[in-house]
Structure formats: structure tokens, C-alpha cells
Chain A
Amino acid sequence: MNGFLMTNAPALLIMLPLIGAFVTPFIGRISPRVRSAWVILIMTLTTLTALLLASDVFLNGTQIYVFGAADPDLAIPPDSGGIPIRIIFTVDAMSALMQVIGAITGFAVLLYSISADRIHSGLESFYTLFLLMIAGIMGMVSTGDLFNFFVFLEILSISSAGLIAYRIDGGLAVEAALKYFVLSTIGAMVILIGIGIYYGEYNALNIAVIASRMQFTLLDQIALVLIIAALAMKCGSVPMHFWTPDAYSMAPSSITAMLVVASQASLYGLFRVVFTLYNVTLNAMTVGWIIIILGVLSMVVGVTMAIPQKNVKRLMAYHAISQTGYMLLGVGVGLAVLGNQPLMESFGYIAMEGGIFHIINHAMYKGLLFLTAGAIFFRIGTYNLNKMGGLGHSMKYTMIFFIIGALAIAGIPPLNGFASKLMIYESVFAFNPVLAVIAMVVSILTLASFVKVFHSIFMGPKLPEYETVQEAPVPMLIGMGVLAAIVILFGLFPQSVVNGLIAPAAHALADQSGYIAAVLGGA
């Protein structure tokens, strides 16, 4: 039984949410309680599978899973002439890390959502789309096939668009969803053109095969530009960030927390293409600097746009853009010195680890912050900062969770944001001191902005209109508590997290030959 689970974990990771999603409409007809139990059961099983697979990958190295083959490990059929012809999932340490992020955030968000979205109608469709979103994220980060990546990206975009429009809200949410959907579709089509170029040039869709044949011709450069532009748009990087505040602020808060993870799955795709598909064949310094500039722009524009916002979720959405900038900066510095082993050893790997560590940290604390914003909306029915005040008297636990999230995003020790930001500051300083200074200034502005938000939501005397406001319901607090506990734990023991999870992921990302060898064998 254990062997069965170990062998088939990559397939189960998308099979469980898909089966769960399609059964939900039928089970939802029995009773809402049964439906909630079913969705939680499916999500628990998915999370356990992801953790099991991750432990296997971190212990035994990259796992592959070949769909439709007689044996899941048989990447190259004997009569195919040495080419993998089937759809392959290639789960290396980086994929496993992203799966863990998706599973843990999904689980916490689901617990929160069961209670927060209870009063709404159409919940069968809500949870069907939620589970499809999980399947899309899991597929995107696991797949070893570019066309398959596009398919899962579309599954994710369509289900996200449906969920953003879920609270129609006088048409505002529908408008945000339409904007998201149109941009996602354009982005996906641009990616498809890039994939078509690879297919025409190298006669393959498998990432490992294309990587092993990569020549970096003019066509490859065009494809690289198309894919970087589209995925940078999908992860909400400036100057393609304009869909983010609308979509993040109009979606239900539980979905906003998942959209953060969805953006990071696109970020993963960007890193995968740059590091695994091209690696040293591209002009690492130029492309690295492009990603660094995208990152710096996102950091600065995101935080300066966040400061004047009145809507708490729009404000947090701009901070999400700004934090995405840190990830791009860290990994961009790693890319810029790729291929130069001494520089890579002295600060390149640390920069990449900082950027990747920031991905998991950001998913946790930003998810937590969006959930606290949702809990406040659940009780007082507004996101407008000017109408809030004095809620610290009645919503004590929500306030504590907000403080944890706000201090973590500002990079205050001993929370997890500090750990990853310190790694980014140190390594980026060694690369270019100006970038490190910008990163620190952005951090200070983030802190200033969150002090303002904290003051206007929680401080001050109790307002008469919120006299009867109560603490958020317990399941919502549990969902937030799971994320808050991870924020604190990662902040207290950053070294073991980095050594155990992050460093293997960073090395797996930089190690192109290892990825190719896992699929094609030998080499």
C-alpha cells in the first residue's frame, strides 16, 4: 500500500482534487454539512499526498511519473527511438516545495472558507472551482511537459476567474473577473505561441528534451521573451500588474489567499523556463538583469501605490506586487551570476535561496493577512479603512494574527519575512549595493504602510456602530492560526528550513543536467 502511494503520488495529487471537484455537485445535494466534510476530506488527502511526495523527493531525489505507461517510471518507451512520447510529471525539489506551499495554503484557506462563505448560495460550484484551482496549481508545478503546463495554466485561470466573479457585488466583481480572464487568456495564448516555436524547432514538448537540445537561436530568444512577458504578467509584476488590485480586492478573501499561490505557480513557471529550459545557453547577465529590473520596479511601484489606498484589500494587493518583486530580485541575482561557479558559491545560491524562501513565506503571511481582512469584512461588512476603527477591543485574536502577518511582511525579526529578506539583502549587497538599499527602503515603507493600516483598523476607542461586533468564528481562526503558526515557526528556525527545504530546491532549480538526467536517464 505504501509502495502504491509512493509510486503514484504525483498522479494522485491531481486525481484527488479532480475527482473531489466533480463529485461535489452530487454530494452537495445531500446536505451542506456532508459537502463540507467531503471537501475537507479531499483537501486533507491531497495535502497528505503532497507532504508524502515532498518527503520522498527530498530524501530520494527527483521523481518522475509517466501517464498511460505500463510502468510509471518508464520515461522512454523501448520502441520510441529514445524520445519520451507520453505526458510526464517531473517532480524535483523545487516542484515539491511549490506543492507543499499549495497544499498547506489550500488546506488553511479551505478551513477558513467553510465558515466564512457559509452564508452564500451556489457553494457546490464554489468548492468545485476551488478544487479545480488546487488541481491546476498542482499540475502546473509538477508537469515536465510544456503543453501540459499550458493546459493546467488554463484550468487555473478559468477556475480563478469564476471564483473572482463569485460575489457579483453590483457587477464590480464580474468586471474584475472579466479583466483577469481576458488578460489570462491573452497571456496563455502568448505562452502557446512560445511553446509552438519550441515544438517546431525541436520537435518535442518535453521540458527535459527541449533543454537538452537548446541552441538559443533567434527563435528561442523570441520564445523566451514571449514566455517571460506572459508569466511576469500572470505573477503580477510591474508593469503588467494592473489586473492584480482589481482581482485580489474583488474576490472573496479565501480566494484571494489562493490567488497569491496561483501567482506564485506562474512565478515557478518563469523560473523553470529560465533555469531548466535555457540555463547557461542564454546570456545569463542580460536576462538576469531584466528579471532584477522587473523585480525592483515591482517592489518600488507596488509599495508606493499601496500607501495611498483606502480599501484594505487593494492595499494588500499592491503589497503583494511589491513582495513578488523581492522574489524576482533574489532569483534574478542568482540567474545573473549563473555559470560563474565562484560567484554562485559566494552569493548566487544564497540569493536564489532567499528568493525561493520568500515565495513560501509570502504565501503564508500574505495569505494570513488576506484572511484577517476577510474576517474583518465578515463582521463589519466593509473594506474601507476610513470607516473602521477600534476593532481591537472586540476582535482580539484577529488583531494578533494581523500583527503577526504585518510584522512578517515588513521583515521584523523573529518572523519568517525577516529570515528571507535578510538572505536577499546580504546576497544582493554583494552583487550590487544599490539594489540592497532599494530593497531595505521598500521594507521600511511596507512597515510604515502597515502601521497606518493597523492603527486605522484596530486602534482607537470602540466605535458606536461596531458596538455589537464579535470575534470571528472559530473555524476561521483555526485557518488563520495554521498560517500564523507556520509564520512563527519558520521565523524561529530559519536555518533548518533553509537547509531542509529551500537549499535543495534552489540547487535543483540551478541544476539543469540533473533535471534532464532524471527524465532521459544517463547523461
Chain B
Amino acid sequence: MRMSKLVRTGADLLYPFALIFGLYIILHGHLTPGGGFQGGAVVATGAAIVIVAWAYEDVAGMIRKVTMKAQESAGLLLFIGTAALALGLGYAFFTNVLANSGSLFGLSVPFGPNPGELNTAGVIPIMNIAVGIEVWGGLTVILLYLLSGLKKEEGS
């Protein structure tokens, strides 16, 4: 069942904003409120808007279940892989090996009021990104399965 053209265009316009806002929450998870789960849920909301405004059949070609399932597993693998990285380097499981190392996300947190240094906190941003990817995929799959049951209206 499609909604009116006004709603459909509105949904199209909102989709990139929902995507960018969700990704912003994921990436700034270690600095501001929110994080991987919340950001991933926001991104999945974008998919929900589009599916509701258009019909399931229109969207199914673009947002595919297989891709989203793969994304879910990939996010989880990235998470557990990051945790296992510390084991490979000789630390305990889940040790934050990148913090203050100077490499990726490895700067130390500046002292005093500051606009927020993105390149800090070690493995925490990586795990946020992993959770974000996972929740994006997982919630979208759930939405696709739930909304694929919608029947087309009689006579339309």
C-alpha cells in the first residue's frame, strides 16, 4: 500500500538525514550521549519511514534482507574480533589496547573544556561502530520481516 506522493517525497527527503544523524550518534558514541545501539536504531528508523511510505515491494529491492543479515553478523564479528585482538597481543580479553597508543583512536583525552576530540578512547569507538553496524542490520531485518506481512489493500 503506497501513501500519497507528498508523504513519499517527504520520506525520501528524510531518509538521508535519518542516516546521517544515526551515523553521527554512532561515531560520537564515546563523547556524547548515545552510542552504537542508539545510532543503529536511528538508522533503522530511516528504513522504517521509507518502507511505511512506499510499499514493501518497492523497497525490498534496495534494502535487502540478505545484505542486512550479513551486516548484522559482520558487526558482531567486528565486535568480538576487537575484543580478541587484545588476546593476540598478550593482554586479557577485552583490554583497551589502542587507548593512548598514538595510533587509530589513540590520542589521550585533552584536559579542560573542549569541543570533543573524536580520535580518543581506543577500542571503544570501534566497538560502538561494530554495534552500530549490527543494530542497523538486525533491526532492519526485523522491520522487513514484520512489514513484509502487510497485505495490499483490496482493489488498489
CB within 8 Å of B: which residues of A? 8, 11, 15, 18-19, 22-23, 25-26, 65-72, 87, 128
Contact (Cβ within 8 A) A68 B94: yes
Name which residue of chain B comes closest to A8, CB basis: B87
Please give, as numbers and ranges, the residues of chain B lying within 8 Å of A26 by CB-CB distance.
70, 73
A-B contact pairs, 22 of them (CB 8 A): A8-B87, A8-B92, A15-B93, A19-B77, A19-B84, A22-B77, A22-B80, A23-B77, A25-B70, A26-B70, A26-B73, A65-B92, A65-B93, A67-B94, A68-B86, A68-B93, A70-B91, A70-B92, A70-B95, A71-B92, A72-B93, A128-B73
Contact (Cβ within 8 A) A8 B93: yes
Instruction: Say yes or no: A11-B92 contact (C-beta < 8 A), given A18-B80, A19-B80.
Output: yes
Residue of B76, B81, B86 contacting most chain A CB atoms (<10 Å): B76
CA distance A67 to B91 in the complex (A): 9
CA distance A121 to B47 in the complex (A): 28
Minimum Cβ distance to chain A for residue B67 (Å):
12
Tally of contact residues, B, Cβ under 8 A? 17
Contact (Cβ within 8 A) A22 B76: yes
Name which residue of chain B comes closest to A128, CB basis: B73
Instruction: Say yes or no: A68-B80 contact (C-beta < 8 A), given A8-B87, A25-B70, A25-B73.
Output: no
Please give, as numbers and ranges, the residues of chain B lying within 8 Å of A70 by CB-CB distance.
91-92, 95
Contact for A15 among B69, B80, B91, B95, CB less than 8 A: B80
**Does B96 have its Cβ within 8 Å of any Cβ on chain A?**
yes
Please give, as numbers and ranges, the residues of chain B lying within 8 Å of A65 by CB-CB distance.
92-93
**Does B98 have its Cβ within 8 Å of any Cβ on chain A?**
no
Contact (Cβ within 8 A) A66 B77: no
Minimum Cβ distance to chain A for residue B139 (Å):
15
Name which residue of chain A comes closest to B77, CB basis: A22
CB within 8 Å of A: which residues of B? 69-70, 73, 76-77, 80-81, 83-84, 86-87, 91-96
CB within 8 Å: A-B pair count: 50
Contact (Cβ within 8 A) A67 B77: no
CA distance A70 to B89 in the complex (A): 11
Instruction: Say yes or no: A15-B84 contact (C-beta < 8 A), given A22-B77, A25-B69.
Output: yes
Instruction: Say yes or no: A66-B92 contact (C-beta < 8 A), given A8-B87, A22-B73, A25-B70.
Output: yes
CA distance A22 to B84 in the complex (A): 14
CA distance A15 to B87 in the complex (A): 10
Minimum Cβ distance to chain B for residue A39 (Å):
15
Please give, as numbers and ranges, the residues of chain A lying within 8 Å of B83 by CB-CB distance.
15
CA distance A19 to B74 in the complex (A): 11
Residue of A65, A70, A71 contacting most chain B CB atoms (<10 Å): A70
Name which residue of chain A comes closest to B79, CB basis: A22
Please give, as numbers and ranges, the residues of chain A lying within 8 Å of B73 by CB-CB distance.
22-23, 25-26, 128
Please give, as numbers and ranges, the residues of chain A lying within 8 Å of B81 by CB-CB distance.
19
Contact (Cβ within 8 A) A11 B80: no
CA distance A65 to B76 in the complex (A): 23
CA distance A87 to B93 in the complex (A): 11
Contact (Cβ within 8 A) B92 A69: yes
Please give, as numbers and ranges, the residues of chain B lying within 8 Å of A11 by CB-CB distance.
87, 92-93
Contact (Cβ within 8 A) A68 B70: no
Name which residue of chain A comes closest to B78, CB basis: A22
Minimum Cβ distance to chain A for residue B42 (Å):
23
Q: Give me the 9 closest cross-chain CB pairs, A-B, nearest first.
A: A11-B93, A72-B92, A68-B94, A22-B76, A67-B94, A25-B73, A22-B77, A69-B92, A18-B80
CA distance A69 to B90 in the complex (A): 11
Minimum Cβ distance to chain A for residue B27 (Å):
22
CA distance A15 to B91 in the complex (A): 15
Contact (Cβ within 8 A) B87 A68: no
CA distance A130 to B80 in the complex (A): 17
Q: A15-B83, A26-B70, A65-B92 are in contact. List 15 more A-B contacts (CB 8 A).
A: A8-B87, A11-B93, A15-B80, A15-B87, A19-B84, A22-B73, A22-B80, A67-B94, A68-B86, A68-B92, A68-B93, A68-B94, A70-B91, A70-B95, A71-B92
Contact (Cβ within 8 A) B92 A67: yes
Minimum Cβ distance to chain B for residue A130 (Å):
15
